[in-house]
């Protein structure tokens, strides 16, 4: 498995392209902005993108969704509780974040517990509410893509509509730090971490 991270938009959101070198098939996680840069990476890598997975519906994670979907023709997956954010710029905060309302219907609504197979890769969907009601994390092998749920030594904000501090702490403690210490955490913003690192130094866990 290979991972390409692209930092996009004024809020420096992480967009990940995760793919198999054996099959050149992959997924895009959170195309938040600067679709031309994301598309250019897909072209240069020669990838067949099978899915676009959205960890949550905020505007800084979906701003380039329309462009990337049009280029790849890949289905868009989002948790059912965040689906309306793709069509409502007020709910997604897009009207504030980037003045860009996506206005798309999701192709598949997630609940958590699904396994998405792409070539020889398997992506496990974990419902991790708190930052938004429909927030998800995505696990593939030893890698855990946590959106705005778990950050380096922190957790996501919960003061937006639908946010819950209790839910996000429970999501982290009950659904994420259960994985082995060497599991690599790829968050929606900032640098990567590991589960072991977060167990030691994250004040929201300890």
pLDDT tens, 186-195? 999 999 999 9
Cα–Cα–Cα angle for 103, 17, 118, nearest 5°? Answer: 95
CATH 1.10.1040.10 holds for 2-201: no
Task: Give the distance from CA 134 to its chain's centroid.
Answer: 11
CA–CA dist 43, 26 (Å, integer): 12
Domain ranges of the chain: 2-201
Q: Which two tokens stand for residue 22?
A: 């054996």
Predicted TM-score of the model (pTM) = 0.96
CA–CA dist 106, 84 (Å, integer): 9
Nearest to 13 by CA among 172, 148, 132, 144: 148
pLDDT 10s digits, 72-84: 999 999 999 999 9
Q: Are 59 and 98 in contact (CB under 8 A)?
A: yes
Q: Which two tokens stand for residue 92?
A: 């997604």
């Amino acid at each position: 498995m290979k991972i390409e991270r692209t930092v996009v938009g004024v809020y420096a959101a992480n967009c990940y392209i995760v793919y198999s070198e054996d099959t050149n098939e992959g997924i895009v996680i959170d195309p938040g902005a600067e679709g031309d840069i994301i598309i250019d990476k897909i072209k240069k890598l020669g990838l067949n993108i099978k899915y676009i997975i959205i960890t949550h519906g905020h505007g800084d994670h979906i701003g380039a969704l329309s462009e990337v979907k049009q280029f790849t023709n890949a289905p868009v997956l989002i948790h059912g509780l965040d689906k309306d954010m793709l069509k409502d710029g007020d709910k997604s905060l897009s009207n504030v974040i980037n003045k860009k309302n996506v206005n798309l219907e999701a192709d598949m609504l997630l609940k958590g517990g699904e396994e998405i197979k792409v070539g020889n890769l398997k992506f496990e969907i974990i419902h991790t509410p708190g930052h938004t009601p429909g927030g998800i994390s995505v696990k593939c092998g030893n890698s855990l893509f946590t959106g705005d749920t778990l950050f380096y030594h922190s957790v996501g904000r919960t003061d937006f509509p639908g946010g819950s501090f209790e839910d996000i702490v429970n999501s982290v403690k009950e659904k994420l730090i259960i994985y082995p210490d060497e599991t690599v955490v790829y968050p929606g913003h900032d640098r990567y971490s590991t589960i072991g690192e977060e167990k030691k130094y994250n004040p929201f866990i300890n």
